[in-house]
């Protein structure tokens, strides 16, 4: 079929680029095979295509932030979430210890400060990490269409080095942004980052965002359209951290990256896509993953500012 053939060509075009390096601050990610690579697309009418190492599981890491933001909106309402987390691009590294001047809120839900806060807004206010993660796993599994699980080795590795995220947790607690025990919020956030997926899972999950919240395979509405609009808006302005401006002009697809090497993209009314390759650039985005997305965008005319 022509689509897998085309996707294999996309892999071939970026295969020789071995620049960048695995995330080294999480031991389990440092040890991942850096040569693995895969790409998947899900159309809004439910066709899913994937090639390369499309059965290799890797942790979602920051990609989880987009979906947990949607769950926080579901549980607290958009105004409840906006009262706690801003929507301004930070232009800073993702784990920056910072709050917006004046409001004292995290700048946006795609950097760690905002994502730990979004995590704390899922479920009842006094929920434990266990309760929140169970809710998050259920929601994400429904989107993926199979039961997703936490990678315990990745979780343990990241917990060994949780001080920076815990620093964010204490800062958020002191600022009155998170209500629960900061350690529970940070533990739960790190567990949510450790959920394993394949590019196929991610493409289907992104396909729901591309389809306005209606699951492309089951045809069921699973995310309200207003939440999808909010999620895609912050993915556009903040999804690639301090490379967001470069990304939106070159690729032009709302996207979210994670430090395990995954990236999702979702174009309203058209497609969900996912790529995987563990080597990252200095900003924490997958090098070959970004190139694959650029090829897909150019070849298929997917830049959101182009008239098709
Ligand atoms: N769990 C990672 C962290 O908090 C996620 C970072 C990322 O994917 N950018 O550091």
The 10s digit of each residue's pLDDT in 158-197 is: 999 999 999 999 999 999 999 999 999 999 999 999 999 9
Confidence of residue 90 (pLDDT cuts 50, 70, 90): confident
* Domain span holding position 88: 64-192
When the pLDDT of each residue in the chain is averaged and rounded to a whole number, the result is 96
- Do residue 183 and residue 70 come from a single domain? yes
pLDDT in tens, 100-158: 888 899 999 999 999 999 999 999 999 999 999 999 999 999 999 999 999 999 999 99
Residue 99: C-alpha distances to residues 91, 257, 270 (Å): 13, 22, 35
| 174 belongs to a structural domain | yes
66 CA to middle of ligand 1, Å?
13
For the CA of 115, the closest atom of ligand 1 is 4
- Do residue 140 and residue 207 come from a single domain? no
- Do residue 57 and residue 68 come from a single domain? no
From the list 223, 183, 180, 208, the residue with the least C-alpha distance to 273 is 208
| 109 belongs to a structural domain | yes
What pLDDT shows up at residue 263?
Answer: 98
Ramachandran bin of 49, using left for φ above 0, alpha for ψ from -120 to 50, beta for the remaining angles? beta
193 CA to middle of ligand 1, Å?
7
Confidence of residue 93 (pLDDT cuts 50, 70, 90): confident
| 308 belongs to a structural domain | no
Positive or negative torsion for Cα 19, 65, 242, 294: positive
**Mind giving me the DSSP string for 153-204?**
HHHHHHHTT-HHHHHHHHHHHHTT---S-HHHHHHHHHHHHTBEE-HHHHHH
Q: Of 159, 192, 225, which closes a domain?
A: 192
Confidence of residue 213 (pLDDT cuts 50, 70, 90): very high
Q: Is 80 exceeded by the pLDDT of residue 308?
A: no
Q: What percent of the chain has pLDDT over 70?
A: 100
| 305 belongs to a structural domain | no
308 CA to middle of ligand 1, Å?
35
**With a 6 A CB cut-off, is 188 part of the ligand 1 pocket?**
no
Close Cβ partners of 264 (under 8 Å, ≥ 6 residues apart):
63, 66, 202, 203, 205, 206, 209, 255, 256, 272, 273, 274
| 170 belongs to a structural domain | yes
Residue 199: C-alpha distances to residues 58, 76, 129, 134, 270 (Å): 9, 30, 26, 22, 18
What pLDDT shows up at residue 252?
Answer: 97
- Do residue 173 and residue 70 come from a single domain? yes
For the CA of 193, the closest atom of ligand 1 is 1
| 49 belongs to a structural domain | yes
What pLDDT shows up at residue 232?
Answer: 98
pLDDT in tens, 42-69: 999 999 999 999 999 999 999 999 999 9
Q: Is 90 exceeded by the pLDDT of residue 307?
A: no
| 77 belongs to a structural domain | yes
**With a 6 A CB cut-off, is 258 part of the ligand 1 pocket?**
yes
- Do residue 207 and residue 280 come from a single domain? yes
- Do residue 210 and residue 279 come from a single domain? yes
- Do residue 251 and residue 289 come from a single domain? yes
Instruction: Evaluate whether 292 touches 251 at the Cβ level (below 8 Å).
Output: no
Q: Which long-range contacts (CB under 8 A, 24 or more apart) does 18-21 make?
A: 18/279, 19/279, 19/281, 19/287, 20/279, 20/280, 20/281, 20/286, 20/287, 20/288, 21/279, 21/280
Q: Of 192, 223, 247, which closes a domain?
A: 192
Confidence of residue 36 (pLDDT cuts 50, 70, 90): very high
* 19 φ/ψ angles, rounded to the nearest 5 degrees: -75, 165
- Do residue 71 and residue 128 come from a single domain? yes
- Do residue 157 and residue 209 come from a single domain? no
For the CA of 259, the closest atom of ligand 1 is 8
- Do residue 181 and residue 77 come from a single domain? yes
**How far, in Å, CA of 6 to CA of 4, rounded?**
5
Angle between the N-to-C axes of helices 182-193 and 112-120, in degrees from 0 to 180, rounded to the nearest 10? 110
- Do residue 27 and residue 100 come from a single domain? no
Instruction: Evaluate whether 56 touches 38 at the Cβ level (below 8 Å).
Output: yes
Q: Is 90 exceeded by the pLDDT of residue 97?
A: no
Q: What percent of the chain has pLDDT over 90?
A: 93
**How far, in Å, CA of 206 to CA of 44, rounded?**
10
Show which residues are catalytic. Answer: 62, 65, 189, 241, 259
- Do residue 89 and residue 167 come from a single domain? yes
Q: Of 163, 192, 221, which closes a domain?
A: 192
Residue 14: C-alpha distances to residues 42, 154, 164, 287, 303 (Å): 21, 27, 33, 9, 20
pLDDT in tens, 226-245: 999 999 999 999 999 889 99
74 CA to middle of ligand 1, Å?
23
CATH number at residue 26: 3.40.710.10
Q: How many domains is the chain partitioned into structurally?
A: 2
pTM comes to 0.97
Confidence of residue 94 (pLDDT cuts 50, 70, 90): confident
What pLDDT shows up at residue 241?
Answer: 85
């Amino acid at each position: 079929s022509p689509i897998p053939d085309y996707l294999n060509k996309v892999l071939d075009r970026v295969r020789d680029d071995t620049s960048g390096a695995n995330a080294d601050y999480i031991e389990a990610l440092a040890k991942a095979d850096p040569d693995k690579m895969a790409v998947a697309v899900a159309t809004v009418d439910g066709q899913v295509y994937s090639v390369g190492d499309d059965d290799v599981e890797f942790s979602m890491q920051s990609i989880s932030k987009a979906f947990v933001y949607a769950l926080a909106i579901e549980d607290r309402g958009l105004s409840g979430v906006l009262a706690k987390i801003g929507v301004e691009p930070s232009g800073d590294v993702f784990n920056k210890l910072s709050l917006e001047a004046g409001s004292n809120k995290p700048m946006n839900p795609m950097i760690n400060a905002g994502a730990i806060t979004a995590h704390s807004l899922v479920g009842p206010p006094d929920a434990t990490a266990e309760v929140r993660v169970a809710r998050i796993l259920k929601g994400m599994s429904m989107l993926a269409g199979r039961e997703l699980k936490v990678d315990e080795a990745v979780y343990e590795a990241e917990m060994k080095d949780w001080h920076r995220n815990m620093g964010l947790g204490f800062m958020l607690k002191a600022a009155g942004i998170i209500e629960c025990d900061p350690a529970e919020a940070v533990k739960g956030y790190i567990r949510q980052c450790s959920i394993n997926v394949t590019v196929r899972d991610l493409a289907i999950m992104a396909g729901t965002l591309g389809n306005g919240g209606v699951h492309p395979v089951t045809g069921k509405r699973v995310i309200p359209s207003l939440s999808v609009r909010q999620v895609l808006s912050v993915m556009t302005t903040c999804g690639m951290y301090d490379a967001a401006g470069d990304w939106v002009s070159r690729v032009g697809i709302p996207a979210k990256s994670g430090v395990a090497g995954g990236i999702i993209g979702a174009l309203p009314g058209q497609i969900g896509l996912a790529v995987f390759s563990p080597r990252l650039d200095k900003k924490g985005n997958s090098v070959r993953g970004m190139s694959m997305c650029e090829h897909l965008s150019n070849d298929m005319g997917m830049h959101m500012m182009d008239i098709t």
